[in-house]
Amino acid sequence: MAGYAVEFTAGAAKEIRRLDTGARKRIVASIAGLAADPPVGCKKLVGEQNAWRVRIADYRILYEIHDEFLTVIVVRVAHRREVYKR
């Protein structure tokens, strides 16, 4: 199976840069796992067509999978109490 390309929205990249070092390392490792074989340890978001989330301790990674382009787009990375707020 071919690997997926991982892309980040500008907001997600900014949120990752703001994280403390320990959380950032865990989240980046999890995102690398998404490139290999999404979805891994994730749940589909209710009300969304191809949106998923991964739980990393108190943080959540929200992402979309586009199988036709073999792409995973990381949309949001934030603490669990903030991630679902629009």
Residue ranges of domains in the chain, CATH in brackets: 5-79 (3.30.2310.20)
64 falls in which pLDDT band (50, 70, 90)? very high
Overall average pLDDT of the 6-21 stretch = 96
Mapped onto helix, strand or coil, the DSSP state of residue 86 is coil
pTM for the model stands at: 0.88
Alpha helices in the chain, H assignment, sequence order: 10-18, 21-36
38 falls in which pLDDT band (50, 70, 90)? low
Rounded (10°) CA dihedral 65, 69, 70, 73: -40
Q: What does residue 48 show for φ and ψ, rounded to 5 degrees?
A: -120, 145
